[in-house]
Amino acid sequence: MKYTVVPALNDEEFGQKAADVFIKAIEGFQSPPSVILPTGDTPLPFYDSLVDRAKASGLSEFYYCQLDEYLGLHAGHEKLFINQMKKNLLDPLNIRVRLAFESAANPGHMIDNVISRFSYAGHPDLAVIGIGGNGHVGFNEPGSAFEDGVRVVTLSEQTIYDNSQNWDLAQHGEFPTRAITLGISDLKKARQTILLVRGEKKANILARALTGPIGPSVPASYLQEQQNVTVVADMGALSQMSPDIVFK
Ligand code: GLP
């Protein structure tokens, strides 16, 4: 077993423990590390904690690298992942965006150019990721090969259903069906990985990802072959994991 589990009792503790692991990780790199960061509900307590810490003592510098993005939304759309990242973390921490899919968010823009910029960006130092209800990471849906790199993808029905729960059609328009994502091969290059998981609804997929068969049907299962992985999860998310693994 190559991963360490950090259990949290509630959202506040989850945010603090994730921030502890993150700060220790970025301080361990000699020059400012390149860091992949996720969107979704899961990381919000972590981002709140990082913003609080930054106000109190400052944070070491890091370069932000976007994990994934919807295609087809206009640049100012509030559901665009880059806009959520700016609001929740990048603006409060005053982090200059280094590598983002912004120009790919609008239909007709040069998606190929964006893909090649990412492909040549080299190795990320730290990948912070979440997990989708079907085991996706970024937008690497079930069936994605571990060799896949950054690319445009079609979202699965389950992801469209899950992610559209807080989507108001009148306010936000049609839900996107396509996205751009770093591939599992890009994530595998990270020197260190932090997986963030909250909520009992993720318990089954988390257990399958970390202890089930390794392969494309559960994209997050690539983590079992990855070195230097820390899983920060609440007790709901850990409820189907063996206590031997959680409290070893
Ligand atoms: C989205 C994103 C992922 C994210 C996942 C979990 O589809 N593409 O990067 O990790 O869903 O989201 P949540 O934390 O809201 O459950």
Chain Cα centroid distance, residue 202: 15
- State which of 163, 182, 198, 206 you would mutate to test the pocket of ligand 1, scoring each by most atoms of that ligand within 8 A of its C-beta: 163
Write the pLDDT tens digit of every residue in 105-140: 666 666 777 887 777 767 889 999 999 999 999 999
Q: 161-170 long-range CB contacts below 8 Å, 24 or more apart? A: 162/132, 162/133, 162/134, 167/79
Would you state the pLDDT for residue 130? 98
Residue 40 Cα to ligand 1 midpoint, Å, equals 4
Would you state the pLDDT for residue 105? 67
Would you state the pLDDT for residue 101? 87
**Three-class SS state of 43:** coil
Tell whether ligand 1 has an atom less than 6 A from the beta carbon of residue 176.
no
Of 69, 77, 83, 134, the catalytic one is 134
Can you name the residues that pair with 151 across neighbouring β-strands?
A: 181
Would you state the pLDDT for residue 110? 65
Of ligand 1's listed atoms, the one at least distance from the Cα of 202 is 16
Exposure string of 101-136, with b = 16+ CB inside 10 Å and e = fewer, is bbebbeeeeebeebbebbeebeebbbbbbbbbebbb
Write the pLDDT tens digit of every residue in 86-104: 999 999 999 987 788 877 7
141 is catalytic: yes
Residue 189 Cα to ligand 1 midpoint, Å, equals 20
The list of the chain residues with pLDDT below 50 reads none
**Three-class SS state of 65:** strand
- State which of 36, 162, 175, 181 you would mutate to test the pocket of ligand 1, scoring each by most atoms of that ligand within 8 A of its C-beta: 162
77 is catalytic: no
Would you state the pLDDT for residue 31? 84
